[in-house]
């Protein structure tokens, strides 16, 4: 790719994010939804935990032994915040592609010289704003309502963990987009994967409670590392160097999934260009 082409694609990337952001702004009620769910979902689990264990020191000790923290509210809020962000990314590229297909704009996009990666990932950039908004709401609620103590110095570490997780999660999202191009529908698959993540990645409980085979599954899934490491930096004030092996695994999974996604997307685009399915839905 030439330098001019790369610069053009980078500009297009920004334009895709801006377009998506403009479209989102035209539906302001969405912001209310994004204020509600990051609080409502974990709060329900916090009260459930209280119902089961109350303030019993023995119960909290048992939880701390398994999870590494006594901050039940913080544990649950971070788990569900990560889950919601992951859901956004899993749905993102596939849904964006599907929306363009149904709207009738996909062919217009594919007739431009912009890289397919722009079309695939550009709209997702706007979701960074949503993710920041959601994590801000979650951390604000944790600290102000539930009194969870989070050191300001931990926040850059948390951002670093999120950044390392991005390639793996976006790679998964792009794989789903390839499925959309091939089959025109991806929601059933996304729901199934979200179910697997909910059970195995420790959204609402530490993975040590899983059976051995379940832990093995958990360690093969990128969200496990993201959620675990976010809790470690924000609730246990761990240093990034403490989590280096995790971050290396996360990056490796990211590279693998991104490469897989690029290959799958190219193959399905070729399939669509042979069969004429770009405009079919």
Partner 1 sequence: MSARAVEAIGLVKEFERGRRTVWDRLRRRPDRRERFRAVDGVDLAVEYGEIFGVLGPNGAGKTTTMKMLATLLEPTSGTARVLGRDVVREAREVRRRMGAVLSDGRSLYWKLTARENLEYFAALYHVPGSEAAERIQHVLNAVRLDDRADDYVERYSTGMRQRLVLARALLPDPELLLLDEPTVGLDPQSARDLRDRVRDLQGQGRTVLLTTHYMEEADQLCDRIAIVDHGRIVALDTPAGLKRTIGATEVVRLEVTAANGQAPVDGALLGRLARAGEVTHIERRDGALAVTVHSRSARDFVPAAFDAAQAEGVAIRHVEVVPVTLEDVFISLTGRALRE
Binding site for partner 1 (CB under 8 A): 4-5, 8-9, 11-12, 14-16, 18-19, 22-23, 26, 103-105, 107-114, 118, 270, 273-276, 278-279
Which residue, 21 or 37, has its beta carbon nearer to partner 1? 21
Tokens of 65: 């032994």
Closest CA to 67 of 239, 249, 232: 232
Closest CA to 233 of 162, 160, 154, 164: 154
Nearest approach, Cβ of residue 79 and partner 1 (Å): 34
CA distance 27 to 43: 26
Which residue, 24 or 60, has its beta carbon nearer to partner 1? 24
Which residue, 23 or 192, has its beta carbon nearer to partner 1? 23
Residue length of the chain = 281
Nearest approach, Cβ of residue 13 and partner 1 (Å): 8
Nearest approach, Cβ of residue 158 and partner 1 (Å): 32
In contact, 170 and 96? CB cutoff 8 Å: no
HSE-CB of 5 using CA atoms within 13 angstroms:
8
Three-class SS of residue 240? helix
Which residue, 14 or 195, has its beta carbon nearer to partner 1? 14
Which residue, 49 or 118, has its beta carbon nearer to partner 1? 118
Nearest approach, Cβ of residue 85 and partner 1 (Å): 25
Which residue, 214 or 275, has its beta carbon nearer to partner 1? 275
Nearest approach, Cβ of residue 134 and partner 1 (Å): 23
Nearest approach, Cβ of residue 34 and partner 1 (Å): 18
Alpha-helical runs (H) found in the chain: 3-25, 29-53, 57-67, 72-103, 106-110, 116-125, 127-144, 154-183, 187-200, 212-219, 222-235, 244-275
The residue whose two tokens read 């979200």 is 194
CA-to-CA dists, residue 202 to 4, 15, 42, 75, 173, angstroms? 44, 36, 13, 10, 20
Which residue, 15 or 159, has its beta carbon nearer to partner 1? 15
In contact, 89 and 125? CB cutoff 8 Å: no
Nearest approach, Cβ of residue 74 and partner 1 (Å): 38
């Amino acid at each position: 790719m030439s330098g001019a082409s790369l610069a053009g694609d980078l500009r297009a990337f920004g334009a895709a994010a801006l377009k998506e952001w403009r479209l989102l702004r035209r539906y302001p009620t969405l912001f209310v939804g994004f204020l509600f769910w990051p609080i409502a979902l974990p709060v329900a689990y916090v009260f459930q935990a209280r119902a089961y264990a109350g303030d019993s020191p023995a119960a909290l000790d048992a939880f701390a032994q398994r999870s590494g923290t006594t901050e039940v509210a913080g544990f649950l809020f971070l788990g569900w915040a990560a889950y919601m962000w992951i859901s956004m990314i899993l749905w993102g590229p596939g849904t964006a592609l599907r929306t363009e297909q149904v709207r009738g704009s996909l062919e217009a996009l594919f007739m431009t010289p912009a890289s397919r990666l722009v079309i695939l990932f550009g709209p997702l950039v706007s979701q960074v704003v949503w993710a920041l908004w959601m994590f801000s709401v979650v951390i604000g609620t944790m600290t102000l309502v539930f009194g969870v103590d989070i050191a300001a110095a931990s926040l850059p570490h948390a951002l670093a963990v999120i950044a390392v997780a991005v390639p793996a999660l976006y790679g998964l999202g792009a794989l789903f987009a390839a499925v959309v191009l091939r089959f025109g529908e991806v929601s059933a698959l996304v729901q199934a994967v979200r179910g697997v993540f909910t059970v195995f990645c420790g959204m609402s409980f530490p993975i040590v409670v899983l059976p051995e085979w379940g832990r093995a599954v958990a360690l093969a899934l990128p969200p496990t590392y993201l959620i675990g490491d976010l809790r470690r930096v924000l609730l246990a004030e761990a240093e990034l160097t403490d989590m280096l092996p995790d971050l290396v695994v996360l990056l490796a999974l990211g590279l693998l999934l991104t490469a897989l996604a690029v290959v799958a997307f190219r193959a399905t685009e070729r399939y669509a260009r042979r069969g004429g399915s770009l405009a079919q839905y």
